[in-house]
């Protein structure tokens, strides 16, 4: 395609094409050439290139390319590279460089990029890809979109696209081929990418000069990512394990705090800093498998199951006000109510009105048996509602002692109850709830009690506050007895003339 277009290309563009072609087996040289490092008016004016580990990665990729000697016709073995690391080392940036290098040096290459969650893909991984594509010296060759980057002269055969890694989307990873070029995949936060997606991607590595890159924090000690870095499949992959303390970008003061709080060999520090797998189990507290099964399961409940509500109020900032509902094994039929933090920024009155409306419902399908409220910002609501005569409201202190010694506090206790419930319960397919449920990580304290990652810790590593999941977990704060009108009474048991009469 490039050769056929030569007559239409200005001399400067001709020179650019020839320059770019020199970097086909030199991604590090490409990165140094393609971006405006240190230039006065560029976003990179104070940056002078890759970190040490990034240079090593790019050098390794170039070495793998040269070793295979792809001739444009005969298929070669896939390049398989994996990185297991702590947080914040610049993996998304490296993803952007690799995407730009492949697209620019390999006409008619076809790629797919995914991440462990929709939020990670759309707010971190893909924005990094598009940022570096726009900074590239070849940016004008491509149409850069919200889900796809395609060569302007061959958009149907020369592109990379963003795809979610949900199991039902595995078909999007099938059938990807580039027999005379490169078919490639990049998995970000790969520890939580399901095996079905990995298996589908394998089919795209059978011809041409295929490549697959996978990196992330090793939050699980099972699954494909664990196997290719630490387990039975590591011989087929070239992998690196990178400690965040050796890198330029991470907040070293925060890492020192983690070291003092958790210790060098705690699961928390092993995964978040050292880039090695947890000892005791998966650091991700609620796995995607459990959530996906709950999304597909049909909801069920008994006639006398009480409707329980959980209210996680916002203090008026970026967090949301969320009210979740659950009746037995059914947390889907009655949809959650979500209101932005701005709703209560200056006045709690509208939120109080909403709560009184909900608590005043008397129809059987909407009557709330108990509303549990997080005390952090909810104590004033509870006090006012009780003063108004609503006795089906209870304040819950997330930091209080757990009723069970196996959890460090009340929040960990409720989340553990919710985690077990998800094995049989049904929830909506809301992607926000899914991300919230699978967001927090966990650890064990010195007494071997469960410690759930706090909202503040999650936000420090760029994960949104799990407001929707916290609201649902509140429905497990305490036992709520069955409603008075039981199923037996509805069928006539216990009345005069029955066997209990």
CA distances to 249, 465, 482, 485, 497 from 500, in Å = 72, 51, 20, 16, 8
pLDDT attached to residue 438: 86
Q: Under CATH, to which class is 6-274 assigned?
A: alpha beta
pLDDT attached to residue 499: 24
Q: Is the pTM of this model over 0.75?
A: no
pLDDT attached to residue 349: 85
pLDDT attached to residue 26: 98
Task: Output the CA torsion 486→491→497→501 (10° steps).
Answer: -20
CA distances to 34, 120, 175, 215 from 159, in Å = 19, 21, 14, 21
Q: What is the mean pLDDT of each run of 10 residues along the chain (501 residues)?
A: 44 89 97 94 90 97 97 96 95 97 97 92 95 97 97 96 90 92 97 92 95 94 87 88 94 92 85 85 80 91 95 81 96 93 76 93 92 94 95 95 94 97 95 86 86 84 83 97 62 32 26
Q: Are 101 and 27 in contact (CB under 8 A)?
A: yes
pLDDT attached to residue 167: 82
Q: Are 382 and 355 in contact (CB under 8 A)?
A: no
Give residue-wise pLDDT tens across range 86-99.
999 999 999 999 99
Domains of the chain by residue range: 6-274, 288-476
pLDDT attached to residue 485: 59
What size, in residues, is the chain? Answer: 501
Side-by-side strand order, sheet with 148-151: 142-144, 148-151, 159-162, 110-115, 183-188, 211-216, 79-85, 238-242
| Strand residues in 65-145 grouped as ranges (E) | 79-85, 110-115, 142-144
Give residue-wise pLDDT tens across range 100-120.
999 999 999 999 999 988 888
pLDDT attached to residue 115: 95
Q: What is the DSSP string of 219-241?
A: --SSSHHHHHHTSTTGGGSEEEE
Q: Are 266 and 445 in contact (CB under 8 A)?
A: no
Residue with tokens 């003092």: 260
6-274 matches 288-476 in fold: no
Question: Domain 288-476 classified CATH 3.30.420.240?
Answer: yes
pLDDT attached to residue 3: 44
């Amino acid at each position: 395609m490039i050769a056929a277009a030569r007559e239409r290309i200005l001399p400067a563009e001709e020179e650019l094409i020839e320059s770019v072609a020199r970097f086909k087996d030199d991604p590090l040289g490409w990165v140094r050439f393609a971006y405006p490092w240190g230039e006065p008016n560029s976003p990179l004016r104070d940056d002078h290139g890759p970190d040490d580990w990034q240079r090593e990665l790019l050098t390794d990729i170039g070495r793998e390319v040269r070793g295979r000697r792809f001739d444009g016709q005969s298929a070669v073995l896939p390049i398989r590279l994996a990185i297991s690391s702590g947080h914040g080392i610049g993996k998304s940036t490296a993803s952007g460089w690799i995407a730009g290098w492949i697209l620019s040096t390999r006409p008619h290459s076809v790629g797919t990029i995914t991440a462990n969650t929709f939020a990670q893909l759309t707010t971190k991984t893909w924005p990094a890809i598009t940022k570096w594509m726009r900074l590239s010296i070849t940016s004008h060759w491509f149409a850069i979109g919200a889900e796809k980057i395609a060569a302007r002269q061959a958009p149907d055969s020369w592109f990379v696209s963003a795809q979610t890694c949900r199991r039902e989307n595995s078909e999007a990873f099938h059938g990807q081929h580039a027999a005379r070029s490169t078919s490639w995949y990049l998995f970000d936060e790969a520890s939580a990418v399901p095996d079905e997606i990995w298996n589908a991607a394998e089919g795209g590595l059978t011809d041409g000069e295929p490549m697959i890159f996978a990196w992330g924090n090793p939050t699980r000690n099972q699954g494909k990512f664990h196997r290719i870095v630490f387990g039975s499949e590591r011989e087929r992959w070239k992998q690196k394990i990178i400690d965040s303390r050796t890198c330029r970008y991470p907040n070293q003061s925060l890492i020192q705090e983690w070291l003092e709080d958790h210790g060098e060999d705690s699961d928390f520090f092993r995964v978040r800093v050292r880039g090695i797998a947890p000892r005791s189990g998966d650091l991700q507290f609620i796995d995607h498998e459990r959530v996906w099964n709950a999304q597909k399961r049909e909801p069920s409940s008994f006639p006398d199951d009480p409707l329980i509500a959980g209210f996680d109020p916002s203090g008026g900032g970026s967090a949301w006000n969320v009210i979740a509902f659950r009746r037995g094994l059914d947390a889907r039929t009655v949809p959650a109510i979500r209101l932005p933090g701005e709703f209560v920024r200056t006045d709690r009155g509208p939120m109080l009105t909403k709560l009184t409306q909900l608590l005043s419902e008397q129809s059987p399908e909407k009557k709330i048996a108990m509303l549990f409220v997080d005390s952090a910002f909810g104590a004033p609501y509870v006090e006012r509602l009780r003063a108004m005569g609503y006795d089906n409201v209870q304040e819950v202190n997330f930091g209080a002692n757990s009723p069970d010694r196996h959890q460090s506090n009340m929040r960990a206790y409720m989340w553990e109850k919710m985690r077990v419930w998800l094995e049989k319960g049904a929830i909506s397919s809301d992607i926000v709830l899914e991300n919230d449920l699978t967001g927090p990580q966990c650890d064990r304290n010195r007494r071997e009690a469960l410690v759930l990652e706090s909202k503040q810790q999650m936000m420090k590593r760029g994960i949104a506050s799990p407001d929707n999941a916290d609201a649902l977990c509140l429905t497990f704060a305490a036992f709520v007895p069955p409603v008075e009108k039981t199923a037996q009474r509805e069928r006539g048991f216990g009345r005069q003339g029955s066997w209990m009469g």
